[in-house]
Structure 1
Amino acid sequence: MSFAPTDIVFDSIFPTWVMVTLSIAGVLFSGIGIIKNWRSGLLRLLAVAALLMLLANPIKREAETTPLEDIALILVDQSASQQLDARSRIAASAAESLRQRIEALENVSVETIPYSGDVETRTINAIQQAMADTPRQRLGGVFVITDGQTVDASEIASMTSVDAPIHVLTTGRETETDRKITLINAPRYGIVRQSVRVSFQIDDFSRDDIVLSDRSSSVVTLRVNGEEVLSEAVPLGTEAGFDVPLNRPGRTIIELEAEERSGELTTRNNIAVLPITAVRDRLRVLLISGEPHPGERVWRNLLKSDPAVDLVHFTILRPIDKNDGTPVDELALIPFPQDELFIDKLDEFDLLIFDRYTYRGVLSSFHFDNIARFVDNGGAVLIASGPEYNGPLSLAMRRNLSFILPALPTGPAVETAFRPLVSDIGKRHPVTADLDDEDIWGRWLRLMPVTHLRGETLLTGPNDEPLLILDRIGEGRVGLFLSDHVWLWARGFDGGGPHASLLRHIAHWLMKEPELEEEALNLSDSAGSLLVERRTIEEEAPNVTIEFPSGEMREVTLSETEPGLFTAKLDNVESGLYRANSGELFAIGAIGLGSIPEFQNVVSTRNLLEPLARQTAGGVFAVRSASSVNLPDIRRVKQNTKNRAGDDWAGVTIRDAARIENVKDAPLVSPFIWLVLLVLTLLAAWMIESGRFAKRQSDLH
């Protein structure tokens, strides 16, 4: 224990404003006296001063203090990038050796504080929090053991009030290297059937972010939805790019993977993942109407009401070569451009609909051949049939077209009332699974009997006869509606039914909208958990194989949560990119961030934190030597020293902080002395002013 220097304080009887008023009044009173008689005036001034000192009550205050140890903080980076290349072992060894060296100094205590970051490292934030929890008058220095990578280096400029040195100790090897791929142009949206340009750059780095030039190129593999599209060498250090095809609507996952560099720290930043949403510019639909019927305009009205659909509609009532003398303008018909539509421009359409079409010689066998090729190459055809589907003029009798049809007619239409029902498969298929209130649907009055060849029956009529069949042919799709009475629902007959939803779902499934795929696999982030969803029309869903960001492979069993939808949820999983396979299906998902900042830049560097060390007169040291630790010397430096670090030493400031244990107060001068001085000066002034002091002097003479 020691005593701090004595302080003089005032314990005034009156408030400050009263003392100030009395002081001004006393000075004015004494000034007037000095003008009249300077000798007595000076005595009165001295009397006023004695009175003020008596009222102010000056005391001397002496504190008993106990010296406190200075504090040195050791912050240890335990982020994900510190787990690479045995950096965590180097950091732990450096922290222990540093603690021992600092404790060997006099009057210094050490606090070791770990901080982490799985997604990103925020070293500046960790330093600020550690200093906020430490008495600033005792802080002698901060030592940060890290790889130097941090995302909040921009906050260094705000740390202007730090009066202790901050030293940075980096844990990377001198010879470490890493390869990184960086997306430059990464579009998030594209147009179906058009390519998008994805540009990127590949760089090789060594410690302190030095760009390496020992290699000229790297092989980059492009994958689209898990399938390899191309693989070719691209130059390092310059912008390169690929044109990526978007062949289907919905989300397309683009992966760019650079080949591994020998000895690099990690390959996690060799992969760039880009989800691109492909949208159709316009859904082009060609509607061909044949036999007139009450529901002829149902399809037209539905498609015209959709702003995303570009509809071309023709009605064929007679062959173009018929010549019976009837004026064309009276028939309100135009020559049908069959060659332009079915040869030249058929590939420009997404969907071709035949609504009760009857063969009248307008289309030739060559046209039907082209329609079949159109479907096989990825197009879609829907046949909404009625009684005309049976007989020699039926589309089913066109040999060039019939082989793509999922069912062939077996006789004339069945005229009977029935209520459409969703089949077992239909309850699992996205096209019909969401159609509600099946029990109160209105009745239809006609059904075409067929022989079911292939495809999935989603709706049935009487005796489980097929009513709606969807099928896949090659790359394309075919739909067959075996009744022309959907218009009864549109008119509200017998209560009506969900005609708009049904027809829209059918059209969108045929045009390959992702939301209506009956076989689909999806990975998504659900509040930090990985949600696996598998849609299928089968009664059981196969297991899903998942690749974790760490490279671990795990097989996951799914459970059915609703008809056709099987799910699994993985809790407490690591952040990063996940890949999943289920049969031929492939999916990519991300927890947190797909490409987390923590693994974007992983080489050890001094560049980001060196400005902080320089700003606080600290130092930056590379402490890793092969597989051992090489620490700088630790010295004590005075608080007003400008240089607190050198090439091979780091300083801990001497703060001389102390804790006050007891305070003693004592009068500076006894109040009796101020009182005596007050009386004597007033008495002397009175004697001078009354002439007694002058008379006494004359009597003495």
Structure 2
Amino acid sequence: MNLFSSNIVFDPALPVWAMITVLIAGLLFASIGIFASWRSGVLRLLAITALAMLLANPTKREAETTPLEDIALILVDETASQSLDGRDEITTKAAEALQSKIKALGNIDVETIPFSGADETRTVNAVRQAIADTPQRRLGGVFVITDGQTVDADEANTPTIQDAPIHILTTGRDSETDRKITLVNAPRYGIVRQSVRVSFRIDDLGRDGVALADGQSSEVSLRVNGEEVLREAVPVGTEAGFDVPLNRPGQTIIELEAATRTGELTTRNNIAVLPITAVRDRLRVLLISGEPHPGERVWRNLLKSDPAVDLVHFTILRPIDKNDGTPVDELALIPFPQDELFIDKLDEFDLLIFDRYTYRGVLSSFHFDNIARFVDKGGAVLIASGPEYNGPLSLAMRRNLSFILPALPAGAAIEKAFRPAISKLGQRHPVTANLKDGDIWGRWLRLMPVTQLRGDTLLTGPDGEPLLILDRIGEGRIGLFLSDHVWLWARGFDGGGPHAELLRRIAHWLMKEPELEEEALSLRDENGTLLIERRSIRNEVPEVIVEHPNGDTETVSLTETDPGLFNARVTDAETGLYRATSDDLFAIGAIGLGTIPEFQNVVSSGGALKPLADATLGGVFAIRSANNVTLPEIRRVKENSKTRANANWAGITTRSAARIESIKDAPLVPAYLWLLIIMLTLLGAWALESGRFSSRKTQ
């Protein structure tokens, strides 16, 4: 039905400033006339008024309009938490029933708008976007069907509309409960050999996030790098903590899992994962130099150039063949602190290096025995040997130390030129893999032949003789360099070679740097794809068992892409935490956020979005009754009403918007009539001022 409305508008013939100028001039002219003759002055004032109306051009405007329906928006929360406890079914029922109720009021256009989010819910943002896309003059009300949890609740106090109410309809049960674990103090970094404090709290929550005071405790299991180390009952609602020792550099993965509470909504928030990266404050290295040789300072210069290394260096200079009866404790300017270094403080060092060391009676069998224990408990020793490695004064002849050595001497030094080569195993090992320019390395001139007992040979000399052997002993590591000519590379002899990079990698492998581990497993996010990477010195590796965020497991086969590097990809990976095992290796990785906000708080609540409803005079309604929907009554309310909802009903504002179909303009008074009035009033004024009316009266 079309409606007609009319009003008067002005369409000035001159700009406003010109209109004002003309009126001021006319009023001055009329004022002068009034002082001369009030009768003629009044007529001139009427003429000026008629001129102003002529210039203002008053117009009668008639508009033909069509009434428009008001709009009601129904926003449907389809985020991941709405799939819990049948909330999605309740949401569907509520949206259909609400749409029917609103349409029954008549003259309302109902629009249903779903919004989703796998990682988090942003309800306030969804409401703002829906309002921005709707004609404001027609919007009568907004209904949001949701569980009430949102990460942008702090923005709920600033709605983008005031003339229409926003109503919140929550889909949770009154009796729902959930248990969650929260990390209170969660350090991401720590120092090797120091402990970090991790604290957490377990909460049992009911509807609207109310803490349940039922006095329960929860059993919590603590896993470190995939291995369970503790299982203990912890009171609910109380902060608890523990100390995590960081015994090695790299990442330590802490997992806390609370036992399932009967009837809780989900167990996805019962697990908290904390990766802690341990870094070394300072690397402490003890360097013992023995037989003097041209490359003696190579190790010292390399270690001193690293600002992260604390180097303690002792050199024993007394020639091996000198026998003049001088007591051992008088062989140096200061006494060699053998007991302090090798008994009292040996455990404070990360790496012990013997550079061409020869036994001279300074260290006793007890010291060597302590060195062996140091390695077995996690320490690292590197022996850089030369001709002194063969013979009765060799370190290999010390019974308390020889059993941890990966190779024993097999004769005098081989004095011939050769180019160091990376072994087949070394091409797969991260210490020697990808060393540059291996085909043009400079020559070395000496090699100690050995009988290899165990360990991995990474570099070889003439006829495939071992040149570099690395081995693991207990929890520690040992390296054996079977030539003292690495200094030739440092001096650029015959083109030189990557001595600094090689020695750095050896030292860091001995100190257990994670990036140089030859057997490693890792997971990482690569643009939404889960990349599984396995490093190994073996030619074949077993399959990887991957646990998905939803608890399902998958067995994945790996493909070798580079020597010693195997990987596989899981495409379209679900957001969340993944666990992987292969042999005794364990890894954790995440796609997106490890612990996604969507499942941190899942109990239904109207409190988070209540400020959004209050700011627009809307209401908050719990619509679920068992598996049924109970909606409030829907009413029409006036636009200026101060009450738009109460406990039992929700209002939709009547906006009465209309669309203009056509507009017709017609002059309120014809222009010639204004001109006639101007002419007659000016003639009358002239006649009065000329005395024509007064002269007739005198005759």
Q: What CA distance in whole angstroms lies between the structure 1 residues aligned with 2:330 and 2:103? A: 107
SS at match of 2:679: helix
Q: 1:55 to 1:342 in 2, by over 3 A?
A: closer
Shift of 1:169: 0.2
Q: What CA distance in whole angstroms lies between the structure 2 residues aligned with 1:535 and 1:46? A: 102
Structure 1 segment 52-91 matched on structure 2, within 5 A? 52-91=52-91
Tell me the alpha carbon deviations over residues 59-96 of structure 1, each in whole angstroms, 9 at most, x when there is no partner: 10010000000000000111111111111111111111
Corresponding residue for residue 493 of structure 1? 493
Q: Is structure 2 residue 672 aligned with structure 1 residue 686? A: no
Q: 1:253 to 1:329 in 2, by over 3 A?
A: closer
Tell me the alpha carbon deviations over residues 189-246 of structure 1, each in whole angstroms, 9 at most, x when there is no partner: 1111111101111111111111111134222222211112212222222221110111
Q: Is structure 2 residue 272 aligned with structure 1 residue 272? A: yes
SS at match of 1:478: strand
Tell me the alpha carbon deviations over residues 565-585 of structure 1, each in whole angstroms, 9 at most, x when there is no partner: 112222322221111111111
Q: Is structure 2 residue 21 aligned with structure 1 residue 15? A: no
Corresponding residue for residue 309 of structure 2? 309
Return 139-148 or 237-246, whichever deviates more.
237-246
Query: Match for 2:689: what amino acid?
Result: E
Q: What CA distance in whole angstroms lies between the structure 1 residues aligned with 2:678 and 2:495? A: 114
SS at match of 2:64: strand
Corresponding residue for residue 478 of structure 1? 478
Corresponding residue for residue 400 of structure 1? 400
- The normalised TM-score by structure 2 is 0.97
Q: What CA distance in whole angstroms lies between the structure 2 residues aligned with 1:504 and 1:78? A: 54
Corresponding residue for residue 647 of structure 1? 647
Tell me the alpha carbon deviations over residues 104-137 of structure 1, each in whole angstroms, 9 at most, x when there is no partner: 1111010000011111111111111111111000
Q: What CA distance in whole angstroms lies between the structure 2 residues aligned with 1:386 and 1:160? A: 81
Q: What CA distance in whole angstroms lies between the structure 2 residues aligned with 1:59 and 1:513? A: 88
Contact 1:644 1:652 in 2 (8 A): yes
Query: Match for 1:399: what amino acid?
Result: R
SS at match of 1:354: strand
Query: Match for 1:275: what amino acid?
Result: P
Shift of 1:325: 6.3
SS at match of 1:636: strand
Q: What CA distance in whole angstroms lies between the structure 2 residues aligned with 1:354 and 1:475? A: 20
Contact 2:63 2:662 in 1 (8 A): yes
Contact 1:328 1:334 in 2 (8 A): no
Tell me the alpha carbon deviations over residues 434-468 of structure 1, each in whole angstroms, 9 at most, x when there is no partner: 31101111111111111111111000011111111
Q: What CA distance in whole angstroms lies between the structure 2 residues aligned with 1:361 and 1:160? A: 86
Corresponding residue for residue 346 of structure 1? 346
Query: Match for 1:253: what amino acid?
Result: I
Corresponding residue for residue 611 of structure 1? 611
SS at match of 1:427: coil
Corresponding residue for residue 508 of structure 1? 508
Corresponding residue for residue 424 of structure 1? 424
Shift of 1:679: 2.4
Shift of 1:14: 2.5
Number of residues of Structure 1 aligned to a counterpart in Structure 2: 698
Shift of 1:421: 0.2
Q: What CA distance in whole angstroms lies between the structure 1 residues aligned with 2:647 and 2:315? A: 89
Q: 1:117 to 1:556 in 2, by over 3 A?
A: same
Q: What CA distance in whole angstroms lies between the structure 1 residues aligned with 2:564 and 2:381? A: 25
Q: 1:410 to 1:325 in 2, by over 3 A?
A: closer
Q: What CA distance in whole angstroms lies between the structure 1 residues aligned with 2:160 and 2:91? A: 28
Contact 1:518 1:537 in 2 (8 A): yes
Contact 1:259 1:270 in 2 (8 A): yes
Structure 1 segment 55-454 matched on structure 2, within 5 A? 55-159=55-159, 161-317=161-317, 324=324, 332-454=332-454
Shift of 1:249: 0.3
Identity of aligned residues (%): 75
Tell me the alpha carbon deviations over residues 478-531 of structure 1, each in whole angstroms, 9 at most, x when there is no partner: 111111111111121111111111111111101101111011111112223222
Contact 2:359 2:395 in 1 (8 A): yes
Query: Match for 1:207: what amino acid?
Result: R
Q: Is structure 2 residue 543 aligned with structure 1 residue 543? A: yes
SS at match of 1:341: helix
Q: Is structure 2 residue 561 aligned with structure 1 residue 533? A: no
Q: 1:600 to 1:661 in 2, by over 3 A?
A: same
SS at match of 2:405: coil
SS at match of 1:17: helix
Q: 1:85 to 1:228 in 2, by over 3 A?
A: same
Shift of 1:323: 8.9
Q: Is structure 2 residue 586 aligned with structure 1 residue 586? A: yes
Tell me the alpha carbon deviations over residues 25-48 of structure 1, each in whole angstroms, 9 at most, x when there is no partner: 111111111111111111111111
Return 687-696 or 372-381, whichever deviates more.
687-696
Q: Is structure 2 residue 598 aligned with structure 1 residue 598? A: yes
Q: What CA distance in whole angstroms lies between the structure 1 residues aligned with 2:346 and 2:274? A: 33
Query: Match for 1:524: what amino acid?
Result: R
Shift of 1:340: 2.0
Q: What CA distance in whole angstroms lies between the structure 1 residues aligned with 2:697 and 2:569? A: 114
SS at match of 1:39: helix
Contact 1:216 1:235 in 2 (8 A): yes
Contact 1:319 1:361 in 2 (8 A): no
Contact 2:406 2:469 in 1 (8 A): yes
Superposed CA RMSD in Å reads: 1.9
Contact 1:639 1:653 in 2 (8 A): yes
SS at match of 2:24: helix
SS at match of 1:286: strand
Q: What CA distance in whole angstroms lies between the structure 1 residues aligned with 2:666 and 2:132? A: 38
SS at match of 1:445: coil
Q: What CA distance in whole angstroms lies between the structure 2 residues aligned with 1:323 and 1:416? A: 31
Q: What CA distance in whole angstroms lies between the structure 2 residues aligned with 1:686 and 1:374? A: 127
Shift of 1:673: 2.5
Gaps of 5+ in 2: none
Q: 1:161 to 1:144 in 2, by over 3 A?
A: closer
- The normalised TM-score by structure 1 is 0.96
Query: Match for 1:446: what amino acid?
Result: R
Tell me the alpha carbon deviations over residues 601-637 of structure 1, each in whole angstroms, 9 at most, x when there is no partner: 1111111111111110111000111011111111111
Contact 1:285 1:312 in 2 (8 A): yes
Q: What CA distance in whole angstroms lies between the structure 2 residues aligned with 1:347 and 1:55? A: 103
Query: Match for 2:270: what amino acid?
Result: N
Contact 1:447 1:467 in 2 (8 A): yes
Q: What CA distance in whole angstroms lies between the structure 2 residues aligned with 1:343 and 1:499? A: 32
Q: 1:233 to 1:327 in 2, by over 3 A?
A: closer
Tell me the alpha carbon deviations over residues 302-329 of structure 1, each in whole angstroms, 9 at most, x when there is no partner: 1122212212222234599x99466999
Shift of 1:156: 2.5
Q: What CA distance in whole angstroms lies between the structure 1 residues aligned with 2:486 and 2:374? A: 27
Contact 2:128 2:160 in 1 (8 A): no
Q: What CA distance in whole angstroms lies between the structure 2 residues aligned with 1:66 and 1:82? A: 41
SS at match of 2:294: coil
Tell me the alpha carbon deviations over residues 277-315 of structure 1, each in whole angstroms, 9 at most, x when there is no partner: 111222111222222222122112211222122122222
Shift of 1:162: 2.5
Gaps of 5+ in 1: none
Shift of 1:697: 4.2
Contact 2:328 2:361 in 1 (8 A): no
Corresponding residue for residue 656 of structure 1? 656
Shift of 1:157: 3.0
Corresponding residue for residue 557 of structure 1? 557
Contact 2:43 2:684 in 1 (8 A): yes
Corresponding residue for residue 5 of structure 1? 5
Shift of 1:18: 2.0
